[in-house]
């Protein structure tokens, strides 16, 4: 028998609270998400997903300056910082620092070139800016990496969800649904 049961329970509770925070964020309940992430971070201060979640919730509530601290900490602590850079990019955008935001997204792609979620977040950034062509490029890359993630449910991000009603987005998803699991990206 080993003595790490309390540590394991603490990590389990922190993980559960982090997931709760993510679910609340996805549901647009940002204040409640912040509370869940704060509790997770009180149990495990270095939990990168909770740091990223705090940054996203705070930035959605117009508290981007406060969110920046969490986004930077997530980048600092992440073993694989691609998603942390994507979160930082969204926060920097909401601070009006789009040049820095784009650099953060590029670092995210450089660090994690095969993670569809980094490209998806970059697409959300372009959607927020109203740049359909750039949004389409990044979303297309995300879809190339893992089409299954997008064919079963609509986008959770409200800005990208707005695009999901556009003909080009519907056509992309329809084409993906017709392909097999061994789908190859179009040149």
Res. 24: pLDDT tops 80: yes
Alpha helical stretches, state H, 27-166: 30-43, 48-60, 64-77, 82-94, 98-111, 116-129, 132-145, 148-151, 158-163
Residues 85/102, Cβ–Cβ less than 8 Å? no
With bands split at pLDDT 50, 70 and 90, how would you rate the model's confidence at 148? low
pLDDT digits (tens, 9 = 90+) for 67-110: 999 999 999 999 999 999 999 999 999 999 999 999 999 999 99
Give the whole-number percent of the chain exceeding pLDDT 70.
76
d(C-alpha 17, C-alpha 32), whole Å: 11
pTM metric for this prediction = 0.80
Residues 86/119, Cβ–Cβ less than 8 Å? no
pLDDT digits (tens, 9 = 90+) for 33-65: 999 999 999 999 999 999 999 999 999 999 999
pLDDT of residue 137: 87
């Amino acid at each position: 028998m080993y003595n790490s049961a309390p540590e394991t329970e603490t990590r389990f509770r922190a993980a559960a609270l982090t997931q709760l925070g993510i679910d609340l964020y996805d549901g647009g309940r940002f204040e409640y998400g912040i509370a869940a992430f704060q509790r997770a971070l009180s149990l495990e201060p270095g939990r990168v997903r909770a740091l990223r979640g705090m940054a996203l919730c705070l930035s959605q509530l117009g508290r981007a300056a406060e969110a920046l601290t969490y986004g930077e900490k997530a980048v600092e602590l992440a073993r694989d910082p691609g998603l942390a850079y994507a979160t930082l990019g969204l926060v920097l955008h909401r601070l009006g620092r789009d040049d820095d935001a784009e650099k953060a997204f590029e670092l995210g792609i450089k660090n994690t070139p095969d993670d569809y979620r980094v490209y998806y977040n970059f697409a959300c950034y372009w959607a927020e800016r109203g740049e359909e062509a750039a949004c389409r490029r990044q979303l297309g890359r995300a879809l190339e990496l893992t089409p299954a993630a997008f064919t079963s449910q609509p986008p959770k991000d409200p800005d990208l969800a707005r695009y999901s009603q556009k003909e080009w987005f519907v056509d992309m998803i329809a084409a993906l649904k017709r392909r097999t699991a061994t789908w190859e990206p179009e040149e």
